[in-house]
A and B are shown apart, each in its own frame.
Chain A
Amino acid sequence: SQQGEEDPQALSIQEGENATMNCSYKTSINNLQWYRQNSGRGLVHLILIRSNEREKHSGRLRVTLDTSKKSSSLLITASRAADTASYFCATDWGSGYALNFGKGTSLLVTP
Chain B
Amino acid sequence: DAGVTQSPTHLIKTRGQHVTLRCSPISGHKSVSWYQQVLGQGPQFIFQYYEKEERGRGNFPDRFSARQFPNYSSELNVNALLLGDSALYLCASSLTGDIRTDTQYFGPGTRLTVL
Instruction: Kindly identify, within residues 60 to 111 of chain A, every residue whose CB is under 8 Å from any CB belonging to chain B.
Output: 88, 90, 92, 95-104
A27 at the interface (CB under 8 A from B): no
Closest A-chain residue to B108, C-beta based? A42
Given A41-B109, A42-B109: A97 in contact with B48 (beta carbons within 8 A): yes
B64 at the interface (CB under 8 A from A): no
Give which listed residue, B58, B90, B107, B109, contacts A98 with CB less than 8 A.
B58
Cβ contacts B29-49/A at 8 Å (1 or 0 each): 001010101011111110010
Shortest CB-to-CB span from B1 to chain A, Å, is: 15
In the complex, chain B residues whose CB is within 8 Å of the CB of A90: 42
B95 at the interface (CB under 8 A from A): no
**Quick check: A97 and B88 within 8 Å, CB to CB?**
no
In the complex, chain A residues whose CB is within 8 Å of the CB of B99: 30-31, 33, 92, 96-99
Binding site for A on B (CB under 8 A): 4, 31, 33, 35, 37, 39-45, 48, 50, 55-56, 58, 88, 90, 92, 97-100, 103-109, 111
